[in-house]
Amino acid sequence: MPEQKTGPEHRQYARAPIELKVDYKKLNSFFADYTKNISKGGTFIKTKKPLAIGTRFLFKLTVPQRTEPFELLGEVVWSKADGDEPGMGIRFIYSNDSQRSDFEGVVEKLMADSLGADLTEKLLKKPVGS
């Protein structure tokens, strides 16, 4: 399968290298993979069997210090089936402003815990691509 990639260069939000467990269903099979990085707008899921570009799917993201996984709708915006790090770039699709606000707060906390408050603040203020 040829590489299909529109590229991470089109990111709207800065990403942090955070690994979280992701559970989702493809056809009649359940998958458990891990994120490589995450931002307020999306994530990269490491998998040897990426979904087709344009696929929308529900997934559960296991976040530390939360009793229940965060359930989100995502859309595959790019994929890479082979090479060093096969996987798929996912854009989050929020059901409402409350879900967006809640999840963006979780992402900011994960980034601060992983990178430190100062670096997180700089990443979140700096427009990506500039």
Q: Helices 97-115 and 117-125, interaxial angle, to 10°?
A: 130
Min mean pLDDT across 35-39, 84-88, 109-113, 114-118 is at: 114-118
62-110 pLDDT per residue, tens: 888 788 888 899 999 999 887 788 999 999 999 999 988 888 888 778 7
pLDDT on residue 117: 63
Higher local confidence (pLDDT), 12 or 24: 24
Supply the pLDDT for residue 83: 78
Other C-beta atoms lying within 10 Å of the C-beta of residue 48? 9
Q: Say if residue 5's pLDDT is above 60.
A: no
Average pLDDT over residues 29-56: 89
- Asked if the model's pLDDT at residue 25 lies above 60, the reply is yes
Terminal CA-to-CA distance of the chain, rounded, Å? 33
Burial class (CB in 10 A: 0-12, 13-18, 19+), 43: buried
Give the pLDDT confidence score for residue 54 in this predicted structure.
95
Residue 119, pLDDT score: 59
CATH of 15-125, one of 2.60.40.10, 2.40.50.100, 2.40.10.220, 3.30.230.10: 2.40.10.220
